[in-house]
């Protein structure tokens, strides 16, 4: 039953939220006003420890309509997280911990970075997957160490975005009953009434996905109904729940129910009358009534008990199940097992030629046995991406007969964007998850929205991006990446490995697994590549290195992936013409850029013209080279070997351009492109 204190608490949350927007004179007051009651009920019911926001068995809250973040910041303050009213006063100001959209890197208690619509709910689905997988892996009949829920708020915008359709369909299939989502059905989007573009029947759609749908007709004030909906959702087994909250945007404001209250501060008069309606002093700012402060202070203490109780359970668990207990402890400590790399494949030039996607399969196999936190899947290209370990179990609801929740292979369906967002959610769950997703490199673009959030949030997720060039052959230009590597390399905090052979493929995975703070795309070939003579995992872990060294080179060819071996053949050919050519393999720009300058200059020194060779857009390669050989047009459908010949990515084609480069630079002073004036 709703008590007076609940009403006061809701008013306080509303007040803190609109005051933030008012202080900043920027932001979104509408959704917080409408959603405060639901937020209050949900957070009351959630188990978490504000003093240890990363406690593994916490319930998680995701604000998919991230623009409503004033609401979440208010809750974090009231619930005793490391955020104060003074931070709220800095809302949307430079270098504050209360940015315009919630960022998990900046603010404790923010589970995932949201704002770009559709991402948060999809992250929440990823979190739910991780929780199910973690629980199924470690829970025992007699001791359960994982039973948390994930709660997500989302708005109409999130529901319109295709990424949420992809992930919601999968969530229904996967029967994720640990997920409770709340649709803020306020019938207003930026263009006005949702009638202008969004008239579908959302509840019926979600039922078609296999969700449980509950309606709360008056979520502006009916806290009991919201609490009952949450209770019903928790009782529902085998289905995620969507709770439809019928709300009024900007509830209580003079502009309530209009688009005007969505994304602009309230007028002073409006603020006054709102505060009056709550029984607050009209001129008050960031007001927290004493009884509300007391109420939340008590909650802060109570909430810490959840982890304390769990810690006892986990202690028993470790005693009774020492092997699993140690493994869980290791994962919670964020440590990889010692010697996890020992079994990773190594090659010599006598080993047979293989596609890097096939080599990647070997690495995945090796890691799979060592790291229980290594899970992944493919966007319906398993047989092409070679992402599934033979004999492994699919992550599936047991009732399907196709696997179980302890399974480590996820069948994503043809849903690249959804996969990307789910991968972020799995990483955000914690427990040291390293999760990967397979698709063609070209279709990582479909997931751009999620990919940039991986980088911004620093999620250590891995894209197994096969068929990485025109080398995919017959599927043609619709499937052949040209701009994709430029796109990905230009994203800050993003590693993009394009290994040239087996040893470099191993390096790519080591780099991707050992990082805690950035995502990695591994671009892999469809076609076979030889194992190179001087290739080295250790060197490839520097991002770039001289793989074919000659004394006093007349030219350096810098290349990546499938073009490295052709470039080495070109160098041998050039030798016959009296031209000394070294070849640099540059599997990852991001990693190379982090090396000491002296090392970088040793690879790309002064005095030698440098030509890049990569069978896609040359855009960006002038950073490391004076001349660029690439493909600044779309590809072609045909046999890979025919296409390579057609575009002259052959030893002859490369040698010809190298020789022109040498001639052009003859007699000119050549400075390394690595020099910078500032």
Span 48-87, contacts to a second copy by CB under 8 A: 66-67
List residues bridging with 245 in a β-sheet. Answer: 184, 216
Binding to a second copy (CB under 8 A) within 335-394 occurs at 378, 380-384, 394
Catalytically active residues are 416
Q: Which stretch binds a second copy (CB under 8 A): 93-101, 317-325, 345-353, 524-532?
A: 93-101
Do you know the residue count of the chain? Answer: 678
- Cβ proximity to a second copy: between 339 and 399 the closer is 399
Which one, 132 or 657, has the nearer CB to a second copy? 657
Q: What is the DSSP letter of 74?
A: H
273-292: which residues touch a second copy (CB under 8 A)?
Answer: none
Contacting residue, 476, 528, 605, 651, with a second copy by CB under 8 A? 476
Told to check if 607 binds a second copy by CB under 8 A, we report no
- Residue numbers 208-247 binding a second copy by CB under 8 A: 208-210
Cβ closest to a second copy, residue 40 vs residue 415: 415
* CA dist list (Å): 118 to 43, 57, 161: 22, 25, 5
What is the C-alpha separation between 639 and 472, in angstroms, rounded? 8
To the question of whether residue 357 is assigned a binding role by annotation, the answer is yes
3 state DSSP class of 11: helix
Give dist(CA 226, CA 221) in Å, integer.
9
The partner residues of 193 in beta bridges, in order of sequence, read 188
**Residue partners of 610: CB distance under 8 A and separation at least 6:** 555, 556, 557, 558, 584, 604, 624, 625, 626, 627, 672, 673
**Cβ proximity of 32 and 74 under 8 Å:** yes
Residue 96 binding a second copy, by CB under 8 A: yes
Contact at 8 Å (CB) between 494 and 590? yes
Q: Where are the beta strands (DSSP E) in 17-97?
A: 60-63
Residue ranges with strand state E in 412-470: 434-440, 462-466
Given phi > 0 = left and psi -120 to 50 = alpha, else beta, which region is 51?
Answer: alpha
User: Of the candidates 24, 41, 344, 428, which one interacts with a second copy according to CB under 8 A?
Assistant: 24
Residue of 4, 141, 142, 199 that binds a second copy (CB under 8 A)? 199
432 is in an annotated binding site: no
Q: Does 667 bind a second copy (CB under 8 A)?
A: no
> 417: helix, coil or strand?
helix
Annotated binding-site residue? 479: yes
Nearer to a second copy, 8 or 570 (CB): 570
Q: Is 186 marked as binding a ligand?
A: yes
Q: According to the annotation, is 37 in a ligand binding site?
A: no
Q: Is 550 in the site for a second copy (CB under 8 A)?
A: no
Q: At what angle do helices 448-457 and 119-138 cross, to 10 degrees?
A: 70
- Contact indicator for 462, 436 with CB cutoff of 8 Å: yes
CA distance 558 to 498: 13
* Minimum CB–partner distance for residue 411 and a second copy (Å): 4
Look up tokens 């097992």; give the residue.
Answer: 337
Burial of 347 (0-12, 13-18, 19+ CB in 10 A): buried
Q: What Rg, from alpha-carbon coordinates, does the chain have?
A: 28
**Count of residues that bind a second copy according to CB under 8 A:** 130
Positions in 143-182 near a second copy (CB under 8 A): 156-158, 160-166, 169-170, 172-173
Q: Segment 111-150, which members bind a second copy (CB under 8 A)?
A: 113-118
- Cβ 87 to a second copy shortest distance, Å: 13
- Interface with a second copy in residues 634-663 (CB under 8 A): 634, 636-639, 642-643, 646, 656-657, 660-661, 663
The reply to whether 19 sits in an annotated binding site is no
Enumerate residues 99-118 that contact a second copy by CB under 8 A: 99-101, 103, 113-118
Q: Is 15 annotated as a binding residue?
A: no
Residues of this chain, 409-448, that bind a second copy according to CB under 8 A = 411-418, 442-443, 445-446, 448
Minimum distance, C-beta of residue 439 to a second copy, in the bound complex (Å)? 11
Q: Which residues are annotated as a binding site for Mg(2+)?
A: 156, 186, 188
Q: Which residues are annotated as a binding site?
A: 28, 67, 115-117, 156-157, 186, 188, 262, 357, 384, 443, 467, 475, 479, 526
């Amino acid at each position: 039953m709703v008590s007076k204190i609940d009403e006061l608490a809701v008013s306080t949350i509303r007040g803190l939220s609109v005051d933030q927007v008012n202080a900043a004179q920027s932001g979104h007051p509408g959704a917080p006003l409408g959603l405060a009651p639901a937020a209050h009920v949900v957070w009351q019911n959630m188990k978490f420890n504000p003093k240890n926001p990363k406690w593994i068995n916490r319930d998680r809250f995701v604000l998919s309509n991230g623009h409503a973040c004033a609401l979440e910041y208010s809750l974090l303050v009231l619930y005793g997280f490391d955020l104060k009213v003074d931070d709220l006063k800095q809302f949307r100001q430079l270098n504050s911990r209360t940015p315009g959209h919630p960022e998990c890197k900046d603010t404790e208690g923010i589970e995932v970075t949201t704002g770009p619509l559709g991402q948060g709910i999809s992250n929440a689905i990823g979190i739910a997957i991780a929780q199910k997988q973690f629980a199924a892996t470690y829970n025992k009949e007699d001791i359960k160490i994982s039973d948390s829920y994930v709660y997500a708020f989302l708005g109409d915008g999130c529901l319109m975005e295709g990424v949420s359709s992809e992930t919601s369909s999968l969530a229904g299939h996967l029967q994720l009953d640990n997920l409770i989502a709340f649709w803020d059905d306020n019938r207003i989007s930026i263009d006005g009434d949702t009638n202008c573009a969004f008239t579908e029947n959302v509840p019926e759609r979600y039922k078609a996905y296999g969700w449980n749908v509950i309606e709360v007709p008056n979520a502006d004030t009916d806290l009991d109904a919201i609490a009952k909906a949450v209770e019903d959702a928790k009782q529902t087994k085998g289905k995620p729940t969507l709770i439809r909250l019928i709300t009024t945007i900007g509830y209580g404001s003079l502009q309530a129910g209009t688009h005007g209250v969505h994304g602009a501060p309230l007028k002073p008069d409006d603020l006054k009358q709102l505060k009056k309606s709550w029984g607050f002093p009209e001129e008050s700012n960031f007001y927290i009534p004493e009884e509300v402060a007391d109420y939340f202070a008590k909650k802060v203490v109570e909430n810490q008990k959840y982890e304390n109780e769990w810690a006892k359970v986990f202690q028993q668990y470790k005693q009774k199940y020492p092997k699993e207990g140690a493994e869980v402890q290791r994962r919670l400590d964020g440590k990889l097992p010692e010697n996890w790399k020992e079994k990773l494949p190594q090659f010599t030039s006598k080993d047979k030629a293989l596609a890097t996607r096939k080599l990647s399969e070997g690495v995945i196999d090796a890691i799979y046995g060592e790291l229980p936190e290594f899970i992944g899947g493919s966007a319906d290209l398993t047989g092409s991406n070679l992402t599934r370990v033979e004999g492994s179990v699919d992550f599936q609801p047991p009732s399907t007969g196709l696997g179980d929740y302890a399974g480590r292979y996820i069948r994503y369906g043809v849903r690249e964007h959804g996969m990307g967002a789910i991968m972020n959610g799995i990483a955000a769950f914690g427990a040291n998850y390293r999760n990967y997703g397979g698709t063609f490199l070209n279709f990582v673009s479909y997931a751009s929205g999620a990919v940039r959030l991986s980088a911004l949030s620093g999620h250590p997720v891995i894209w197994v991006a096969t068929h990485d060039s025109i080398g995919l052959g017959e599927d043609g230009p619709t499937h052949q990446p040209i701009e994709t590597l430029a796109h990905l390399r230009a994203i800050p905090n993003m590693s993009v490995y394009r290994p040239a052979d087996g040893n470099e493929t191993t390096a790519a995975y080591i780099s991707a697994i050992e990082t805690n703070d950035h995502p990695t795309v591994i671009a892999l070939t469809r076609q076979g590549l030889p194992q190179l003579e001087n290739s080295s995992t250790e060197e490839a872990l520097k991002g770039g290195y001289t793989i074919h060294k000659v004394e006093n080179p007349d030219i350096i060819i810098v290349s990546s992936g499938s073009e490295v071996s052709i470039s080495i053949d070109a160098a041998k050919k050039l030798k016959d013409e009296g031209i000394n050519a070294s070849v640099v393999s540059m599997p990852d720009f991001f990693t190379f850029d982090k090396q000491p300058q002296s090392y970088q200059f040793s690879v790309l020194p002064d005095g030698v013209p440098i030509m890049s060779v990569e069978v896609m857009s040359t855009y960006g390669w002038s950073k490391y080279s004076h001349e660029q050989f690439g493909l600044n047009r779309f590809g072609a459908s045909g046999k890979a070997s025919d296409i390579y010949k057609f575009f002259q990515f052959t030893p002859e084609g490369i040698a010809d351009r190298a020789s022109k480069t040498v001639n052009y630079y003859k007699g000119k002073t050549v400075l390394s492109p690595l020099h910078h004036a500032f």
